[in-house]
């Protein structure tokens, strides 16, 4: 290849993806810390497509981190589906996408399997059973017991007439337990080209730099040095991450979604950097249908011509329900080689399809997964569409559209006007199998949506005309408009559940040493009856049909409700414990017991002793808070004060217990 041609191609790709500038420092790269690396990344893989043997993993760094089954699944998922790709003659063809797969071993994260969640949801009618289920202790999690893994792929197709079939394919893959697309996209843009320049050394250098990064801090802006560059990224908040993504339970419960954030630069859910406008531009009026389908946990097949487009569509759809914890199994790029395909393919027509979002490029799925009730087709099959990465900066450019200068104007809604009703009817009559002959952007579903499309939001969107230079910045604005609207829509939809997460503070005259009262019990029938009587609120009543209560019924039965409700209840209980603990620390014990009867003083003694033991156990297990030592010291002082006001015979009776005597430092 001519050197100037290669430079031109690299320039084209970097302009599209806005790759961060990077070069290795002249000094020796830092030493790899495997334990620190695991906080971010499981492994780096180099996979080659061999014409005789198929997909082969050439390198896996660090070694011995994956099982053979995992290596096989990763290898199959790391290449564009040749059946559905546009064949072109460009010398170098790069694309980026990501996939998600279930790990081979079993674990018990909070987000149970679809059958587990469904079983709990369906028997949740009684208040007693329901509250018993939601009050279960949330399990601790670690990177090793994560149920899913994410693979972020930089794929290069090189055309060379001297090779068999005129070219070769290789993929650089970053594997992680965490869906941190805002980190791994720009990292891939550095690492992919670097590997093809210097080989395996690129993996070692990048791994060493990543192992120097601080621990991930969900919901925060982080600056992550990499060579002479630095990635400035926002991580998704803890409440949007499933327990199985490797967080500790303390991290998962550190924060709750705000009612409505004012700072739009702070992410409120997964894939906050996805390009909603760009990928769904052809079917914008259907966004409200898609929002409902994901909200209630319906299975969806997302079809696009290329892996970058289908994974962007799945990521954008997941981002629509923020700040709700999305517990539906989503697969940004799903292939027939996935071990779960055999099960899905065996589902008989008429049987329920599991709640999943499958992003696919192979049209074979239209015939094999006939049981999936909702099919969405997005993207463009143009020659350059596969070059569009799932970019670190959203781009609203329509692939294949001619370039030129244009003016900023409101997005035209002509394509959504009643005059096109005949086309809609024709598409519905033909069904999704019409995609076998021609790709079209459309949705096929029998679901009747309750939420009305907000045309005032669509009318605010900007069309940059034909200018690609203006299009990207306009797409950023459009994405903010759409994301803000759906964030507000989801937040208002979840608002009626707020009273069940409200922590109760100690009232005046109440002892802070007793156990706090339980949170309000939740009963589905009572909730729906009460909500139906008072209405959905001003925001939703303007945007939903008269049967809006049906959407709540479906949500309560769906896959997303129970994990989200459990997480929010756990956060509220933790917050209530913190408030009551703070009240105990501020209590003047001498004044507090001065007006008590002897029986009340004894009860206070027992309560304080119980709290001391609880704090001590947490300290010994390594689960104690930073102020556990100070809390124990204060409680032991309070215990001695209470002990000293008790009658002599009661004191003698209490110190007969050696553990109590030890807490009081009383010799026996």
Q: Which two tokens stand for residue 538?
A: 């001003």
Determine which of 77-86, 131-140, 293-302, 453-462 has the lowest per-residue pLDDT on average: 131-140
Contact 605, 646 (CB under 8 A): yes
- Total Cβ atoms within 10 A of residue 492: 17
Determine which of 106-115, 147-156, 278-287 has the lowest per-residue pLDDT on average: 106-115
pLDDT of residue 384: 47
Residue 271, pLDDT above cutoff 70: yes
* Buried/exposed code over 418-427 (b: 16+ C-beta within 10 A; e: otherwise): eeeeeeeeeb
pLDDT of residue 565: 95
d(CA 155, CA 569): 43
pLDDT tens for 593-621 read 888 888 988 998 899 889 888 888 888 77
Q: Cα–Cα distances in Å, from 211 out to 34, 36, 415, 512? A: 7, 5, 50, 45
pLDDT tens for 345-391 read 998 888 899 999 999 999 999 999 988 999 999 998 764 444 444 44
pLDDT tens for 437-460 read 889 999 999 999 999 999 999 999
With a pLDDT cut of 70, the percent of the chain lying above it is 75
Please, which residues have CB within 8 angstroms of residue 131's CB and are 6 or more apart in sequence?
A: 518, 521, 522
Question: Residue 115's closest CA among 333, 297, 253, 270?
Answer: 297
d(CA 86, CA 383): 6
pLDDT of residue 399: 35
Residue 83, pLDDT above cutoff 50: no
pLDDT tens for 549-601 read 999 999 999 999 999 999 999 999 999 999 999 988 998 888 888 888 889 88
pLDDT of residue 542: 92
pLDDT of residue 55: 85
Q: In whole numbers, what is the pLDDT of the chain averaged over residues?
A: 80
Gyration radius of the chain's alpha carbons: 28
pLDDT tens for 617-652 read 888 777 777 788 888 889 988 889 988 989 998 888
pLDDT tens for 157-192 read 887 666 666 678 899 999 999 999 999 999 999 999
Contact 387, 312 (CB under 8 A): no
- Phi, psi for residue 147 in degrees, rounded to 5: -80, -25
pLDDT of residue 623: 73
pTM for the whole structure: 0.83
pLDDT, average across residues 491-500: 95
Residue 422, pLDDT above cutoff 60: yes
pLDDT of residue 325: 92
Confidence of residue 428 (pLDDT cuts 50, 70, 90): confident
pLDDT of residue 158: 82
Q: Cα–Cα distances in Å, from 432 out to 85, 306, 634? A: 19, 17, 68
Q: Which two tokens stand for residue 528?
A: 């729906």
């Amino acid at each position: 290849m001519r050197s100037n041609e290669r430079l031109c191609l690299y320039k084209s790709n970097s302009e599209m993806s806005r790759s961060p500038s990077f070069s290795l420092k002249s000094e020796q790269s830092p030493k790899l810390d495997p334990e620190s690396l695991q906080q971010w990344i499981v492994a780096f893989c180099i996979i080659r497509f061999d014409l005789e043997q198929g997909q082969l993993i050439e390198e896996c760094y660090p070694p011995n981190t994956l099982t053979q089954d995992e290596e096989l699944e990763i290898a199959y998922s790391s290449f564009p589906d040749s059946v559905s790709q546009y064949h072109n003659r460009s010398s170098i063809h790069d694309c980026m996408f990501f996939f998600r797969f279930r790990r081979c071993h079993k674990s018990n994260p909070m987000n149970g399997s679809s059958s587990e969640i469904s079983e709990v949801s369906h028997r949740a009618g009684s208040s007693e059973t329901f509250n018993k289920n939601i009050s279960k202790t949330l399990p601790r999690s670690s990177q090793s017991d994560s149920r899913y893994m994410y693979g972020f792929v930089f794929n290069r197709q090189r055309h060379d007439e001297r090779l068999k079939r005129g070219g070769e394919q290789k993929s650089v893959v970053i594997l992680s337990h965490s869906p941190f697309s805002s980190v791994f996209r720009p990292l891939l843009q550095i690492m992919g080209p670097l590997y093809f320049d210097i080989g395996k050394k690129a993996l070692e250098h990048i791994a060493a730099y990543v192992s120097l990064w601080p621990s991930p801090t969900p919901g925060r802006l982080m600056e992550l040095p990499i060579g002479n560059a630095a990635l400035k990224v926002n991580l998704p908040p803890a409440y949007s991450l499933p327990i199985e993504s490797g967080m500790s339970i303390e991290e998962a419960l550190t924060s709750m979604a705000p009612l409505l954030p004012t700072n739009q630069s702070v992410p409120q859910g997964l894939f906050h950097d996805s390009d909603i406008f760009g990928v769904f531009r052809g079917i914008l009026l259907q966004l409200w249908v898609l929002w409902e389908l994901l909200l209630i946990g319906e299975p969806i097949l997302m079809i696009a011509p290329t892996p970058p487009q289908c994974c962007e569509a799945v990521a954008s759809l997941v981002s629509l329900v923020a700040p709700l914890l999305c517990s539906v199994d989503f697969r940004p790029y799903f292939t027939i080689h996935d071990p779960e395909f055999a099960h899905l393919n065996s589902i008989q027509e008429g049987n329920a399809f599991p709640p999943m979002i499958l992003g696919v490029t192979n049209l074979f799925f239209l015939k094999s997964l006939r049981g999936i009730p909702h099919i969405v087709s997005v993207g463009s099959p143009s020659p350059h569409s596969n070059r569009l990465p799932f970019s670190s900066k959203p781009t609203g450019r329509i692939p294949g559209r001619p370039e030129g200068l244009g003016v900023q104007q409101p997005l035209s809604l002509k394509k959504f006007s009643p005059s096109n009703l005949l086309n809609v009817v024709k598409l519905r009559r033909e069904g999704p199998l019409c995609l076998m002959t021609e790709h079209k952007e459309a949705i096929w579903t029998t679901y009747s949506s309750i939420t009305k499309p907000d045309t005032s939001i669509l009318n605010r969107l900007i069309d940059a005309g034909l200018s690609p230079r203006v299009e990207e910045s306009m797409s950023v604005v459009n994405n903010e408009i759409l994301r803000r609207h759906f964030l507000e829509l989801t937040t208002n939809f979840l608002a009626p559940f707020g009273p069940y997460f409200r922590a109760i503070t100690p009232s005046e005259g109440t002892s802070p040493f007793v156990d706090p009262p339980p949170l309000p019990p939740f009963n589905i029938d009572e909730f729906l009856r009460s909500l139906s009587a008072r209405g959905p609120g001003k925001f939703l009543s303007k945007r939903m049909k008269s049967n809006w209560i049906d959407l709540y019924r479906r949500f309560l039965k769906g896959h997303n409700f129970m994990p989200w409700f459990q997480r929010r209840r756990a956060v509220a209980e933790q917050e209530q414990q913190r408030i009551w603990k703070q009240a105990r620390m501020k209590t003047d014990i001498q004044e507090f017991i001065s007006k008590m009867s002897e029986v009340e003083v004894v009860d206070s003694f027992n309560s304080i002793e119980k709290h001391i033991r609880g704090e001590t156990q947490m300290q010994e297990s390594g689960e104690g808070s930073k102020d556990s030592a100070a809390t124990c010291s204060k409680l032991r002082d309070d215990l001695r004060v209470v002990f000293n006001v008790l009658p002599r015979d009661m004191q003698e009776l209490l110190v007969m217990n050696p553990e109590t005597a030890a807490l009081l430092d009383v010799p026996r």
